[in-house]
Chain A
Amino acid sequence: MKKILIMSISAVLLITASCKDNNYLDIEPRDVVPTDKMFSDPALVLSVVADLYQRQLDFSSLDNGWASFADFSEAFPSENGSSFFVQRTSWGWGEWGTWDYGYIRDINLFIERATASTLKEEDKKIFIAEGRFLRAAYYFELVKRMGGVPLITKSLTYEGDALSLQTPRSKESEVYDFIISELEAIKSDLPALVNIKSRATRAAALAMESRAALYAASIAKYGAQRTPNVTLPGDEVGIPATMANAYYQKALAAAEAIISGEAGAYSLYRANSIDLSDNFAAIFTDKSDANKESIFIEDFKVGTNKVHSFTVNNQPYSRSEEGADAGRLNPSLNIVQAFEKLDNTYAPIPTVNASGDPIYYTNQQDIFAGRDARLAGTVMLPGSVFKGAAIDVRAGYQNAAGDFISTGTLPGSSTPAVGLDGPADGLEFRTQTGFYIRKYLDPVTGSGRRGRRSDVPFIRYRYAEVLLNASEAAFELGDKGKALGYINQVRNRAGLTTPLNDLTFDRIVHERRVELVFEGHTLFDMKRWRLAHIVWDGANMTVADLKSDIGSATKHNTQPFSLWPYLYQNPGSPNHNKWMFREVKLGRVTGANRFQSGNYYSQINDDILSRNPKIVKQPNQ
């Protein structure tokens, strides 16, 4: 009885005591930071904005893998599991699409919370500007891929009425206008500092503005000329031709704001004036303050988990630090021969002379002599040196009878006929085209190991592109003199010291192709010029096709070709031990790029369409 009494008393005491503490269930969680706390300290806000930066979308980028660089016949994928790149005969309607309104909502929330926060005014201003910058960047990705999309600029709340949340697509021009006006509005809030590269700066905003305005302008101009069928009645897709000039003016003005130094002292990278190819390659690897060319980058850091495998995946096989994990991205002969000669003329890589006999070269690289320095800066040619030794590219040898032999060893030696780096048809992880990629390839020891990987940055915007934007916009506005001035700066840096005297549309297309190849521009440039369906017309290519019309904007480019070096073995001949080359279409290259009208804008899938019936479908799908 006594026991029961004591127990009841203590129970009553316990209950009454616990009741007193009204906040018992309201303790703050220790693993979640509440919004008001988060937005009270700039250091915490920075971690929110860092997440938004991390979620940016790029077409090609180093952290979504080598394969994002491989398409469009500019490269061959030397990984047998990825042969679909060269075997497909069309792109799906949904290819390249994106529709991440979750990201937009997060940015909108960020902007709203930062606006409502108690941060200091100067911190607040920059954070809000960064949020708007990232939102503009994502809308730019959306409009490039999908055309006009619903413009959502504040966070939406569901209050029992889904209909009011359904927003129709804006006009394509309205989305571009939004991007341009946002960037105009925030540019003065952002710091004009050259050394800030992975966060939004004034130059990054202007560079994006110039690119966006240029895209809008060329869609307006060339859409009307070449693809009048790629439009929608409500202008959700397609921009009226009358708007072209205004956009070109905006593109030029934004580019010139950077060129004039308004946003910081940016300049072309010229750290190495002796070897211009090394200089060009270093633009992509040099992260020091000496690099005043890169404007906005995605940065990486060794020792953290923000590193990428580009070097691991694409390092030359013979110089690999990770055995057979190498050699995937092989630039094609198509892009190699597009680099012009130093006298500003186009020519195929000379494998045969006028009478059709092979030309013999003493050194492997002689065949590429006298070309644009960007060639060797972008592409690793046979015999190039990487990490201390030359790569070994040899398809075999040619004997006195003229047969090409790729088995066994070289005559009178124990060296295998085929080089350690290939090329052999179908032999993956080493070059099959005769070339390796050099852009972004990290020369630092250890960068090719899976355990360490590489921290070479991905450049989203750089000064050379700004110059090319300015040049194109000035050209389209009829100011050839100004256009030449800008384009010649870029060409001069590449060793093309004889300035161009006349500019054509084809020259501009060509210049962007060789300067900006493998930087994620190819698809969108071809789309905005409405050249994609002409260049990728689905027809097979022959070697004769390949070698003709180089430099023409409408030259079709549907299949990647290879250039295989052979050692000539005929002790009686003066050409003994010299090199000869052959153009080869690899056995796996069975498809041809075919871009159809429906590919100009990626499909909006049925799921989105049924959730929001106000959204109209893309044309031609």
Chain B
Amino acid sequence: MRFNFKYIMLVALTVMVAACKKDTKEAPKASFKGRLVYNGTPINVEQNQVPVELYQSGFGKRGAIVGNVTQDGAFSFLLFDGDYKLIIPGVQGPFRWNQTGATRDSMSVNISGDKTMDLEVTPYYLINDVQYTVNGRAVTAAFSVNKIITDANARDIERVTLYVNKTQFVSSNGDENVANNGIAGSAVTGAVNLTATVPTLTPTQGYVFARIGLKIAGVDDMIYSPLQKITL
């Protein structure tokens, strides 16, 4: 008997096509989105630094589905329908969330189909009324700092810094700013002015992005003002 490759190929292809259908599991489809907000104002943080964890029980091992919050305070997941517990762990984030004492409580989230839900948090501070002015390559920011948590859980400001970067990712992180200038928290009273001089950028670009970051004593994550594009 002679091999007939046509038939072999045909059989193989049929098997493969059929197999694909059988093996592949359904991908999670329900999207779960939201933002971290305080009275409707999104909380600006550093990208990939504030985690949101989801736990689903009943599947043996314990482990979180971790999503990181973007610069402007948004998060998103693709999930299967079901019941989840949501937590922002530890002292992550420049805010208090769902807690009375030092530790945080989780909250229940039911997913059936797409869902959008903002998480209400209470930041220690907010940066308000930011105005940028440009003089040559010097970027000046004028703003005020608003203390939100004033009770026993209040924390001091460690420092306030103006960060300027050539891309939209602006933070205290070393490779996310090209210029910065800050003052210690003790010097922050009333209206604050900070000026940072942008160095020569290669390749040349006629614009930069700026944010103001506020470091709270004893909290790693800083709270930022909204991103602003500035034309030099």
A residues bordering B, Cβ < 8 Å?
A: 89, 227-229, 233, 533, 538-540, 558-559, 590-592, 594, 596-598, 606-607, 609-610, 613, 617, 619-621
Task: Name B46-60 residues within 8 Å CB distance of A.
Answer: 60
With most chain B CB atoms within 10 A of its CB, the pick from A89, A591, A617 is A89
Decide if B8 is an interface residue (CB 8 Å cutoff): no
Task: Note all chain A residues with C-beta closer than 8 A to B175.
Answer: 89, 540, 590-592
With most chain A CB atoms within 10 A of its CB, the pick from B60, B63, B174 is B174
What residue of chain B has the Cβ atom nearest to residue A607's Cβ? B61
Decide if B102 is an interface residue (CB 8 Å cutoff): yes
Task: Note all chain B residues with C-beta closer than 8 A to A538.
Answer: 172-174
Q: Complex: how many Å from CA A621 to CA B62?
A: 16
Q: Are A606 and B64 in contact (CB under 8 A)?
A: yes
Task: Note all chain A residues with C-beta closer than 8 A to B61.
Answer: 606-607, 610
Decide if B90 is an interface residue (CB 8 Å cutoff): yes
Q: Are A597 and B103 in contact (CB under 8 A)?
A: no
What residue of chain A has the Cβ atom nearest to residue B175's Cβ? A590
Q: Are B102 and A591 in contact (CB under 8 A)?
A: no
Task: Note all chain A residues with C-beta closer than 8 A to B172.
Answer: 538-539
With most chain A CB atoms within 10 A of its CB, the pick from B60, B64, B91, B219 is B91
Task: Note all chain B residues with C-beta closer than 8 A to A609.
Answer: 62-63
Q: Are A596 and B220 in contact (CB under 8 A)?
A: yes
Q: Are A594 and B174 in contact (CB under 8 A)?
A: yes
Decide if B185 is an interface residue (CB 8 Å cutoff): no
A237 to chain B, nearest CB (A): 11
B90 to chain A, nearest CB (A): 4
Task: Note all chain A residues with C-beta closer than 8 A to B180.
Answer: 539
Q: Is the contact region of chain B dominated by helix, strand, or loop, or is it mixed?
A: loop
Task: Name B208-225 residues within 8 Å CB distance of A.
Answer: 218-220
Q: Are A597 and B174 in contact (CB under 8 A)?
A: no
Q: Are A228 and B63 in contact (CB under 8 A)?
A: no
A427 to chain B, nearest CB (A): 22
Partner among A594, A613, A617, A619 whose Cβ is within 8 Å of the Cβ of B173: A594
26 sample A-B contacts, Cβ–Cβ < 8 Å, listed by A number = A89-B175, A227-B218, A228-B218, A229-B219, A538-B172, A538-B174, A539-B174, A540-B175, A558-B174, A590-B174, A591-B174, A592-B175, A596-B220, A598-B90, A606-B63, A606-B64, A607-B63, A609-B63, A610-B60, A610-B61, A610-B62, A613-B62, A617-B89, A619-B91, A620-B220, A621-B90
A165 to chain B, nearest CB (A): 18
Q: Are B91 and A229 in contact (CB under 8 A)?
A: yes
Task: Name B166-222 residues within 8 Å CB distance of A.
Answer: 172-175, 177, 180, 218-220
What residue of chain A has the Cβ atom nearest to residue B64's Cβ? A606
Q: Are A592 and B174 in contact (CB under 8 A)?
A: yes
B185 to chain A, nearest CB (A): 15
Q: Complex: how many Å from CA A311 to CA B102?
A: 50
Q: Are A229 and B62 in contact (CB under 8 A)?
A: no
Decide if B68 is an interface residue (CB 8 Å cutoff): no
Q: Complex: how many Å from CA A233 to CA B218?
A: 17
Decide if B76 is an interface residue (CB 8 Å cutoff): no
Q: Are B173 and A620 in contact (CB under 8 A)?
A: no
Q: Are B63 and A610 in contact (CB under 8 A)?
A: yes
A48 to chain B, nearest CB (A): 35
Task: Note all chain B residues with C-beta closer than 8 A to A227.
Answer: 218
Task: Note all chain A residues with C-beta closer than 8 A to B106.
Answer: none
- B: number of interface residues (CB 8 Å): 20
User: What 8 pairs between A and B have smallest CB-CB spacing?
Assistant: A592-B174, A606-B63, A610-B62, A620-B90, A610-B61, A540-B174, A596-B220, A229-B218
Q: Complex: how many Å from CA A620 to CA B64?
A: 15
Q: Complex: how many Å from CA A613 to CA B62?
A: 9
Q: Complex: how many Å from CA A621 to CA B175?
A: 23
Q: Complex: how many Å from CA A619 to CA B102?
A: 11
A163 to chain B, nearest CB (A): 16
Partner among A89, A617, A619, A620 whose Cβ is within 8 Å of the Cβ of B174: A89
A149 to chain B, nearest CB (A): 19
B101 to chain A, nearest CB (A): 9
Decide if B92 is an interface residue (CB 8 Å cutoff): yes
Partner among A233, A540, A591, A597 whose Cβ is within 8 Å of the Cβ of B220: A597
With most chain A CB atoms within 10 A of its CB, the pick from B60, B92, B103, B173 is B173
Task: Note all chain B residues with C-beta closer than 8 A to A610.
Answer: 60-63
What residue of chain A has the Cβ atom nearest to residue B180's Cβ? A539
What residue of chain B has the Cβ atom nearest to residue A231's Cβ? B102
Task: Note all chain A residues with C-beta closer than 8 A to B90.
Answer: 598, 617, 619-621
What residue of chain A has the Cβ atom nearest to residue B176's Cβ? A89
What residue of chain A has the Cβ atom nearest to residue B51's Cβ? A621
Q: Complex: how many Å from CA A162 to CA B61?
A: 16
B81 to chain A, nearest CB (A): 23
What residue of chain B has the Cβ atom nearest to residue A610's Cβ? B62
What residue of chain A has the Cβ atom nearest to residue B63's Cβ? A606
Task: Name B110-142 residues within 8 Å CB distance of A.
Answer: none
A573 to chain B, nearest CB (A): 31
Q: Complex: how many Å from CA A620 to CA B89?
A: 7
Q: Complex: how many Å from CA A597 to CA B102?
A: 15
Q: Are A233 and B63 in contact (CB under 8 A)?
A: no
B170 to chain A, nearest CB (A): 14
Q: Given contacts A233-B102, A621-B90, list 18 more A-B pairs with CB under 8 A.
A: A89-B174, A227-B218, A229-B91, A229-B219, A539-B172, A539-B180, A558-B174, A559-B174, A590-B175, A594-B173, A594-B174, A597-B91, A597-B220, A598-B220, A610-B61, A613-B62, A617-B90, A619-B90
Q: Complex: how many Å from CA A598 to CA B90?
A: 9
Q: Complex: how many Å from CA A591 to CA B175?
A: 6
Q: Are A606 and B62 in contact (CB under 8 A)?
A: yes
Q: Complex: how many Å from CA A592 to CA B172?
A: 11
What residue of chain B has the Cβ atom nearest to residue A589's Cβ? B174
Q: Complex: how many Å from CA A538 to CA B103?
A: 27
B154 to chain A, nearest CB (A): 14
Task: Note all chain A residues with C-beta closer than 8 A to B91.
Answer: 229, 597, 619-620
Q: Complex: how many Å from CA A233 to CA B101?
A: 11
Taking A233-B103, A606-B62 as contacts, is the C-beta distance between A89 and B173 under 8 angstroms?
A: yes
Task: Name B90-111 residues within 8 Å CB distance of A.
Answer: 90-92, 102-103
Task: Note all chain B residues with C-beta closer than 8 A to A89.
Answer: 173-175
Task: Note all chain A residues with C-beta closer than 8 A to B102.
Answer: 233
Q: Complex: how many Å from CA A620 to CA B92?
A: 6
What residue of chain A has the Cβ atom nearest to residue B171's Cβ? A538
Task: Note all chain A residues with C-beta closer than 8 A to B218.
Answer: 227-229
A434 to chain B, nearest CB (A): 23
What residue of chain A has the Cβ atom nearest to residue B172's Cβ? A538
Task: Note all chain B residues with C-beta closer than 8 A to A558.
Answer: 174
With most chain A CB atoms within 10 A of its CB, the pick from B64, B219, B220 is B220
Q: Complex: how many Å from CA A538 to CA B159?
A: 14
What residue of chain B has the Cβ atom nearest to residue A226's Cβ? B218
Task: Note all chain A residues with C-beta closer than 8 A to B219.
Answer: 229
